[in-house]
Structure 1
Amino acid sequence: MTHVHLTSLVLSLIFLIIIVVMQNKGKNIRIWHMVLRATYILIIVTGGILFFAAYSIPLSYYLKAILGVVMIGLFEMVIVRKQREKKTDIIWIAFSIVLVILFALGFTLPMGFNLIK
């Protein structure tokens, strides 16, 4: 299930890049935005399965779950603020920080991948 969760996260990042590039060109992003929202559902479902599959749930899993929901909110904030032609600089900074923390937590938690073997 970890593979599906990580794949859906990477897909959502790719869709976000596509949406931002299309917004910069002034194109319609409605369909891509709906596809991105479908990946949110996949991320939440697979994350929930991984969360409840843990034998005992330490505090770091709760932190990762909360930050995951915050990350989805940041995805939406970037897209909507860009549509309304508002500044997104602070949102991008928060997005980057939360993304790094999420990947660090995801790779260090017991159910994650161990990159340093």
Structure 2
Amino acid sequence: MDFLSSSTHLHITAWAITLILFFVAALAGKKLTAVHMTLRVMYILVIITGLALFLEWRDKIAESGMNYDMKVLFGILVIAFMEMVLVRKNKGKSVNMFWVLFGIVLLITLYLGMSMGIGINF
């Protein structure tokens, strides 16, 4: 399973595709069931690749401390808010609060992911 944690390419590709599919499904005027199902498969791929990176790199980079733990938490929250936006939209309920929470948590997650040892040093 070294291909999952040897670099961040698979994980970044997985979450980039996930974000694209999410915006397609969320901004479409009608209910896109196939896109939503594909998006759920992508959630699983993002979680698996993220978990592999977490297990591989957490102990190797000492200065990160609890940042990797926080990134895992915020990453799962991003997926949860994405799903909440889509489900509430399909039910015809208000999604404004979840869009705001999604945006905030996504920015925090991206910052944490890119500022740690295997990302970009800000």
Residue identity over aligned pairs, in percent, reads: 36
The partner residue of 1:87 within 63, 88, 94 is 94
The AA in structure 2 aligned to 1:29 is L
Correspondence list, 1:17-32, <5 A = 17-22=23-28, 24=29, 26=30, 28-32=31-35
Counterpart of 2:4 in structure 1 is none
Corresponding residue of 2:39: 36
Matches within 5 A, 1:1-117: 1-22=7-28, 24=29, 26=30, 28-54=31-57, 56=59, 58-114=65-121
The list of structure 1 runs, each at least 4 consecutive aligned residues, that deviate by more than 4 angstroms after superposition, is none
Structure 1-normalised TM-score?
0.89
Structure 2 letter corresponding to 1:31: A
- Unpaired runs of at least 5, structure 2: 1-6
Superposed CA deviations along residues 5-40 of structure 1, whole A, max 9, x for unmatched, are 111111111001111232x2x2x4111011101111
Q: Which amino acid aligns with 1:14?
A: I
Q: TM-score, normalised by structure 2?
A: 0.85
CA distance in 1, matches of 2:58, 2:97: 38
Indicate the SS of the match to 2:45: helix
The code of the aligned residue for 1:8 comes to A
